[in-house]
Chain A
Amino acid sequence: MPVTYDNIATQTLTSAATSITFNSLPTTYTDLRIILSAFNGGGQQLYLRFNSDSGNNYGYTDMIGNGATATADEAGSAASFVMHYNGLDTSLPTLVPIDIFAYRGATNKTVLYSWNADRNGAGYIKWSVGRWGSTSAITSITLSSDGNFAVNTSATLYGIKNA
């Protein structure tokens, strides 16, 4: 049986950084998965872009829970996927798994991601589906903050094969 869940790259911050980028993605996989564990280092927001595209080509639909009520929202033409909900924390890691399907395909790209940010009596969970309106193969992925990601923030990119 072939290996189907390969580590492509890992970045663990030893100093604060405004973004984490995976460049030159291999073309040997079918799908991609990112596991981000993020701390606030002076910036609270988190955005995701492909191929450095800053056009209004990102759409998403969210379900959000705050521990008391459930809501939903959506954006039809944003300049990035907006992943955060009420920001990162300095000591409690926020877990963000991101699944990117058929990243080499010639159709628009579908993404599933969640924002898991329990804050010990506060916090949010957000569950999202996103669409990047581009038929280009994804060759780079950028996670960025409005300030900094803190030390110990880690992001790992995995490649998944159909066979």
Chain B
Amino acid sequence: MPSTYVPISSTTLSSTASIVTFSGIPSTFTDLVVKMSMRDTAATTTRNIQFRFNSTTTNYFQTELQGNGSAPSSTRRSGATYLSSDNTIPAGTSLANTFNNAEIYIPNYTSTLNKSSYTFAAGEDNITTAYIMIAANCWNNASVINTVSFVADGVHAIGSSFYLYGISKS
């Protein structure tokens, strides 16, 4: 039986970066998974995960469910320029050496239908208000996904890591 959870590419930052991109994604898998551990250098407590497909800046929609340790909330993003996970990255004024955990699951990325995905992300730093979030994502685009880009809300910090996996149905 073939291996169905295959590492495609990974990046661990040795210097800060404004964007991290996986390009030339092979079309030989069925689904994609991205696992991230991120921190931002902006002088605030938290920043957002922001990502795009194929460098396209239109037609992103989201419904989010979020908890901050005191009250749950839900927000919506319509016709946005990227998909986001709000406040789930520890940033410059949060506890040092603390990174978030996040996963994006993208099924049927080679289909010619609109693309759904989900994001699960959480950042806890033991000091300030922290956030956990799950989001239903939709990119209204029938193109095959061949690029995933993580655009920093501030600046991606050294040590941030990004792992792209391909999942096969057979």
- Spell out A's residues near B (CB within 8 Å): 3-7, 10, 35, 37, 63-70, 72, 91-95, 97, 114-121, 123-127, 152, 154, 156, 158
* A68 touching B72, Cβ below 8 Å: no
* B169 touching A7, Cβ below 8 Å: yes
Q: How many residues of B contact A (CB 8 A)?
A: 40
Partner of B116, one of A5, A72, A93, A124: A93
* B64 touching A95, Cβ below 8 Å: no
Write the nearest CB–CB distance from B2 to chain A, whole angstroms.
Answer: 8
CA distance A10 to B79 in the complex (A): 33
Tell me what chain A mostly uses at the interface: helix, strand, loop, or mixed.
strand
B136 is an interface residue with CB less than 8 A from chain A: yes
Chain B residues with CB under 8 Å of A63's CB are 65, 72
The 9 tightest CB contacts between A and B, nearest first, are A65-B74, A67-B76, A65-B65, A116-B136, A70-B72, A5-B5, A10-B169, A118-B138, A125-B136
Partner of B136, one of A5, A70, A117: A117
Q: Sample 15 A-B pairs with CB under 8 A, ordered by A number.
A: A3-B1, A5-B5, A7-B1, A35-B107, A37-B116, A67-B63, A69-B74, A92-B116, A93-B107, A94-B116, A95-B116, A120-B61, A127-B134, A152-B111, A156-B169
Write the nearest CB–CB distance from B59 to chain A, whole angstroms.
Answer: 8
Chain A residues with CB under 8 Å of B151's CB are none
* B76 touching A10, Cβ below 8 Å: no
Chain B 125-144 interface mask (CB, 8 Å, partner A; 1/0): 00000000011111010000
* A7 touching B116, Cβ below 8 Å: no
* A114 touching B118, Cβ below 8 Å: yes
B70 is an interface residue with CB less than 8 A from chain A: no
Chain A residues with CB under 8 Å of B78's CB are 120-121
